[in-house]
Chains A and B, each alone.
Chain A
């Protein structure tokens, strides 16, 4: 029997996971205000401040290196930003001035400056600015701790599994959390868009932020349940709550296990037909661990994120590193790189594109790349150089017919010869394919199949262009359906065309990851299915319990149907009759 009353408190669930464990109340490096004090010796205080800045930069650089290893380069830039604050003319020089001109000591100068800068950001009505204030206070605490010598508790001292409870966890602290010992964490402040939330998700640590004053009711050693998806925390759980939580955790664990069971199986039908299951990725970090999630390949690597996440065009070296990392993470399994698909709804901050009335029918993807040859060639060079480190394939987006494909292919051949002539190692054979997302390309598939190595059907755009519907427009969104019979006929046409020439067809739109569509796609003979890595096990569960011949018969029946509703009904009925092992 617990002597304490069970208390349920509510925060913001920002990183999934249901956890129960002993609380460790973590005191952040002293957040307390120091009394304002005049300097005894101005030169000595200046020297202290300079040393504190140098030491802070050294510490942050070590943290950046750690974050790059555990979280990837992208996330490490959050910490890098703190270094740039230390070098900003509005941050460090005012501190020196407060000592030199106003005679304050170093600790006071830091406190005054941090309060002033962070205070201004906090006063702005923009969430993003308030979050940057947290970064300023984080770096300010680090500076102050160099002078006071009070570095707070060290997270690395925690050597048993605990749930961390704190006022706030700064980004620089979050990156140090070790999943082995930190079951989850709960804090008084923080929001869904904070860097801390983003980092917790990347680390896979359950987190509830923004508990407010309720956090005062939690002490070190208490038993605590935290639910990172609902944001609910239970202090002093009763025996009943504990067993209920344990049961729920068991269910979650079992679901995970059953998923793992399917994830590790090959997608082979009961009668022995294998389909290749692949994943869509946007960054090379996502390629890490994909093989464990059951992916046999990357069917779509969206390179535009590399371009969208920065303020200037990524140079050849930056691109080369990213493509090489993805190739290496897949250990020889295929990675299909899609060349830059920008324009339409995806803009680049540093590439000014004219405003268009119909951006989806306009200057985008391969159209833009063929027009801006230096941009396109830089990407092709980076891919060619990375090809020596794995099994890369390349596809061009938004191809409408043979001439665009031929132009892209010619530029590829030219670039390849140049890269080889410069002495770079390039893979002997790199398959080249095209995205099928424009109906004209689908209808020309029989011609195109003679020239390309593969097709990849992008269902999201293909549906939009075939049915002439903008799915963002709520009034017509009901028309947006990949089970439209016209779309299915186009898909069949493309797969058949590739089969005739001994080529293969993949699919990288959301249809490929829809368990309901799986029997139809199997029946049509789709070779490679590329989807979000989180759903691979669901599709495998279906495919491994299918009879391929029955799927072919299903596909034949479906091609006779005339509306999306009839097709869905047929698929739902088929699904209901699948016997799962």
Chain B
């Protein structure tokens, strides 16, 4: 399993469009991908727009992205880079 912590930096947070972009990228990997907000017990499927939306993560929140499977390392790298880039909003 690979995992990485990353901070949400875009002003509008992890809302609909970022969630869609995240899921679009996550769907390209065969690995099982999970998101866990810092200090929260719940894990969300990284390929679920609804799941990510309901987390309602605002700017400044930290999440752990983890993946298991053949392309897990690439998945974690690319997904955390997407989050760190602010989803092109900044």
Interface residue ranges, A against B (CB under 8 Å): 84-85, 88-91, 117, 120-121, 124, 126, 128-129, 132, 136, 311, 349-352, 355
Contact = CB atoms under 8 A, between A and B. Distances in A.
9 contacts: A84-B49, A90-B44, A126-B15, A128-B16, A132-B16, A311-B17, A311-B20, A349-B89, A355-B90
Given A91-B50, A120-B54, A311-B20, 15 more contacts: A89-B51, A90-B45, A90-B51, A90-B54, A91-B48, A117-B54, A120-B56, A126-B56, A129-B53, A129-B56, A132-B16, A136-B50, A311-B17, A349-B87, A349-B88
A353 B71 CA distance: 31
Contact of B21 (A89, A91, A311, A355): A311
B15 A128 contact: yes
Contact of B50 (A88, A126, A349, A350): A88
A85 B20 CA distance: 12
B17 A88 contact: no
A350 B20 CA distance: 12
A352 B89 CA distance: 7
Contacts of B51: 88-90
Interface string B45-65: 101111101101000000000
Interface in B18-58: 20-21, 24, 44-45, 47-51, 53-54, 56
Nearest to A118: B54
B56 A117 contact: no
Interface of B: 15-17, 20-21, 24, 44-45, 47-51, 53-54, 56, 87-90
A120 B42 CA distance: 14
Nearest to A348: B88
Contacts of A129: 15, 53, 56
Interface of B: prevailing SS = helix
B58 to A, nearest CB: 10
B1 to A, nearest CB: 19
A352 B88 contact: yes
Contacts of A88: 48-51
Contacts of B47: 89
The 10 closest A-B pairs by CB, nearest first: A90-B51, A90-B48, A89-B48, A120-B54, A90-B50, A89-B45, A352-B88, A88-B50, A124-B56, A88-B48
Contacts of B88: 349-352
A121 B53 contact: yes
Nearest to A85: B50
A78 B20 CA distance: 15
A265 to B, nearest CB: 46
A136 B48 CA distance: 14
Nearest to B18: A349
Contacts of A126: 15, 56
Contacts of A311: 17, 20-21, 24
Contacts of A132: 16, 53
A121 B90 CA distance: 26
A286 B88 CA distance: 30
